Structure 1
Amino acid sequence: MSELVLPGGLRDRAVRPGDRRYPLLRSTYTRVSAPSLVLLPESPAEVAASLEVARDSGLPLSVRSGGHGLSGRSSNDGGIVLDVSAMNGVEVLDEDARLVRVGAGARWANVAAALAPHGWAISSGDHGNVGVGGLATAGGIGWLARSYGLTIDHIRAAEVVLPDGRLVRADATHEPDLFWAVRGAGDGVGVVVAFEIEATPLRTVGFGQVVVEADRDGDTLRRWSEYVAAAPHELTGSAVLFADGADVAAQFTAVVASDDQDLVRELIAPLAEFGVRPLSSGAQLAPYPALVSTGHLHPNVGQQPSTTTNALLPALTEASARALMEVAAGPQRTLVQLRALGGAINEVAPDATAYAHRHQQVLAILTQFPPGGGTELDAAAAPLAPYADGAYRNFESRPDDDTFRRAFPGATGDRVRALRERYDPGGLLQRVAAAEPARPR
Structure 2
Amino acid sequence: MNAVPRRVPAGLAGKLVTPGDRRYGALRSTYTRVGSPALVVPAESAGDVAQALAFAAEHRLHVSVRSGGHGLAGAATNDGGLVIDLGAMRGVRVLDREARIVRVEAGARWAEVAHALAAHGLAISSGDHGNVGVGGLATGGGIGWLVRSYGLTIDHVRAVEVVLADGSVVRADAGHEPDLLWVMRGAGSGTAIATAFEIEAVELGRIGYAEATVVVDSAGTALRRWAAMMAAAPRELSTAVNLSAQGSLAVASVNAVVASDSESVIRGALEPLASLGDTVLDQAYVLPYSQLLSTAQLHRHHGQMPVVTTNGLLTRMTSEAARGLVAAVTAPEPLLIQMRSLGGAVNDTDPAATAYPHRHQRTLVTATAFPPGDRETLSAAWKPLLPLTDGAYVNFESDPDEETFARTYPGATGARVAELRRRYDPDGVLRPRSR
Which interval holds the TM-score relative to the shorter structure?
over 0.9
1:69-88 correspondence runs (5 A) = 69-88=71-90
Task: Letter of the 2:117 partner, please give it.
Answer: L
**Counterpart amino acid of 2:245?**
A
Answer yes or no: is the 8 Å Cα contact 1:4–1:57 preserved in 2.
no
Alignment partner, residue 17 of structure 2: 15
Give the aligned partner of residue 318 of structure 1: 319
Secondary structure at the residue paired with 1:125?
A: coil
Shift of 1:280: 4.0
Report what 1:364 is aligned to. Answer: 365
**Is residue 69–residue 76 contact of structure 2 (8 Å, CA) maintained in 1?**
no
CA displacement at 1:281 relative to structure 2: 2.8
How far off is 1:4 after superposition?
A: 5.1
Alpha-carbon distance, 1:315 to partner: 2.4
Q: Deviation per CA, 1:100-156, whole angstroms, max 9, x where unpaired?
A: 100001000000010001100000000000000000000000000000000000001
- Does residue 155 in structure 1 map to residue 160 in structure 2? no
Query: Do the aligned partners of 1:149 and 1:344 also contact (CA within 8 Å) in 2?
Result: yes
1:28 corresponds, among 27, 30, 34, to 30
**Offset of 1:223 from its aligned partner?**
1.1
| 1:411 match | 412
TM score, norm. by length of structure 1:
0.96
Gapped runs of 5+ residues in structure 2? none
1:372-430 alpha-carbon deviations (Å, 9 max, x no partner)? 11111111111211101111111111111111111100000000000000000011001
Instruction: Note if contact 1:205-1:286 (Cα within 8 Å) is conserved in structure 2.
Output: yes
CA positional deviation for 1:245: 3.0
Is the contact between residue 30 and residue 302 of structure 1 (CA under 8 Å) also seen in structure 2?
yes
Distance 1:299 1:119 in 2: 29
| Aligned position for 2:267 | 265
Which stretch of structure 1 is more off in the superposition, 260-269 or 364-373?
Answer: 260-269
Q: Secondary structure at the match of 1:428?
A: coil
Deviation at 1:58, TM superposition (A): 2.0
TM-score under structure 2 normalisation? Answer: 0.98
Counterpart among 209, 212, 227 of residue 210 in structure 1? 212
Which residue identity is paired with 1:349?
D
Contact 1:67 1:107 in 2 (8 A): no
| Counterpart position of 2:344 | 343
- Tell me if the contact between 1:228 and 1:340 (Cα under 8 Å) persists in the aligned partners: yes
Match of 2:353 in 1: 352
The residue aligned with 1:389 is: 390
Specify the SS of the correspondent of 1:312: strand
Structure 2 residue identity aligned to 1:381 = W
Partner Cα distance (1:412, 1:54) in 2: 31
Q: Following TM superposition, by how much is the alpha carbon of 1:18 offset from its aligned partner in structure 2, in angstroms? A: 1.7
**Superposed displacement of residue 246, structure 1:** 2.3
Aligned to 1:136: 138
Residues 72 and 398, structure 1, Cα contact 8 Å, conserved in 2:
no
* 1:426 counterpart SS class: coil
Of the structure 1 ranges 57-66 and 44-53, higher mean CA displacement relative to structure 2 is found in 57-66
Displacement after TM superposition at 1:225 (Å): 1.0
Is the contact made by 1:327 and 1:383 (CA closer than 8 Å) also made in structure 2? no
Indicate the SS of the match to 1:93: strand
Write the distance in 2 (CA, Å) between the matches of 1:322 and 1:5: 60
Amino acid across the alignment from 2:358 = H
Give the distance between the partners of 1:420 and 1:354, measured in 2 at CA.
12
* Residues 208 and 282, structure 1, Cα contact 8 Å, conserved in 2: yes
Aligned equivalents of 1:310, 1:391: Cα separation in 2 = 6
Rounded to whole Å, the distance in 2 between the matches of 1:61 and 1:245 is: 44
2:334 corresponding residue in structure 1: 333
Q: How does 1:129-208 map to 2 (within 5 A)?
A: 129-208=131-210
Aligned to 1:106: 108
Are the equivalent residues in 2 in contact too, given 1:272–1:281 (CA < 8 A)?
no
Asked if 2 retains the 8 angstrom alpha-carbon contact of 1:248 and 1:329, the reply is yes
Report the CA distance between 1:190 and its aligned residue: 1.0
Q: For residues 379 and 4 of structure 1, do their structure 2 counterparts lie closer, same or farther at Cα, with a shift above 3 Å needed?
A: farther
- State whether residues 32 and 301 of structure 1, in contact with CA within 8 Å, keep that contact through their aligned partners in structure 2: yes
Cα distance between partner residues in 2 of 1:75 and 1:272: 44
Alpha-carbon distance in 2 for matches of 1:288, 1:315: 30
Alignment of 1:199-278 (within 5 A): 199-275=201-277, 277-278=278-279
Same amino acid, percent of matched pairs: 55
Distance 2:5 2:56 in 1: 13
Is the CA contact 2:210–2:281 (under 8 Å) kept in the aligned structure 1? Answer: no
Quote how far apart the aligned CAs of 1:67 are: 3.7
Contact residue 101 and residue 200 of structure 2 kept, 8 A: yes
Alignment-derived partner of residue 378 in structure 2? 377
Contact map agreement 1:309 1:396 (CA 8 A) in 2: yes
**Distance (Å, rounded) in 2 between the aligned partners of 1:234 and 1:156:** 23
SS of the residue corresponding to residue 279 of structure 1 reads strand
Aligned length: 433
Task: Name 2:308's counterpart in structure 1.
Answer: 307
Looking at structure 1, the residues matched to 123 and 279 of structure 2 have their Cα atoms a distance apart, in angstroms, of: 32
Contact 2:32 2:73 in 1 (8 A): no
Q: Please tell me the root mean square deviation across aligned C-alpha atoms, in Å.
A: 1.1
Matched residue of 2:51: which SS?
helix
Deviations 1:251-301 (A, max 9, x none): 1110000011122122112212212x1234321101000010000000011
- The answer to whether structure 1 residue 279 and structure 2 residue 280 are counterparts is yes
Structure 2 counterpart SS, 1:187: coil
Shift of 1:229: 2.0
Tell me the CA shift for residue 371 of structure 1: 0.9
Q: Distance in 2 between matches of 1:96 and 1:80?
A: 41
Q: Deviations over 1:341-379 (max 9, x none)?
A: 111001001000000111111111111111111111111
- Contact persistence 1:393–1:407 (CA under 8 A): yes
Give distance in 2, aligned partners of 1:201 and 1:215: 40
Of 102-111 and 321-330, the range deviating more from structure 2: 321-330
Asked if the contact 2:41–2:82 (Cα under 8 Å) also holds between the matched residues in 1, the reply is yes
